[in-house]
Amino acid sequence: EVQLLESGGGLVQPGGSLRLSCSASGFNFGSYAMGWVRQAPGKGLEWVSTINPSGDRTYNPDSVKGRFTISRDNSENTLFLQMNTLRGEDTAIYYCGRVLAATVGWLDTWGQGTLVIVSS
């Protein structure tokens, strides 16, 4: 069974940093692009980042560019999201997902999400 499990969320002060992890199982992790999508409380879905299967290409929207970095460890079947210079508007549930395409595609499997709260 394909499974994704996020961890690392929590309460952080504005300007602080946090590193999210997503542990994958049930599929050949290194063959798939992976991504992060977030959802602010009571709001819709927002794409945050995508990484290609080998990890040498990453994509981010302007809202997080220069602050968030996606990476992966294919030997450990784990996806990461390093979030720096956090702002109140980054408060959200962060979902990791398996991408069905080389890079830009749709997410066929989602984790349960991890909550990040940015507040003083």
Partner 1 sequence: DIQMTQSPSTLSASVGDTVTITCRASHYISKWLAWYQQKPGKAPELLISDASSETNGAPSRFSGSGGGTVFTLTISGLQPGDFATYYCQQYNSFPITFGQGTRLDIK
Contact residues toward partner 1 (CB under 8 A) are: 35, 37, 44-47, 50, 59, 61-62, 95, 100-101, 103-113
Contact (Cβ atoms closer than 8 angstroms) between residue 78 and residue 52: no
Bridge partners, 79 (sequence order): 22, 72
Min. distance of Cβ 63 from partner 1 in angstroms?
9
Token pair for residue 47? 């794409």
Min. distance of Cβ 95 from partner 1 in angstroms?
6
Min. distance of Cβ 16 from partner 1 in angstroms?
25
Separation of alpha carbons 80 and 6, rounded Å: 9
Separation of alpha carbons 25 and 77, rounded Å: 7
Q: Which is nearer to partner 1, 55 or 113 (CB)?
A: 113
Separation of alpha carbons 112 and 45, rounded Å: 14
Min. distance of Cβ 8 from partner 1 in angstroms?
16
Q: Which is nearer to partner 1, 13 or 117 (CB)?
A: 117
Q: Which is nearer to partner 1, 73 or 108 (CB)?
A: 108
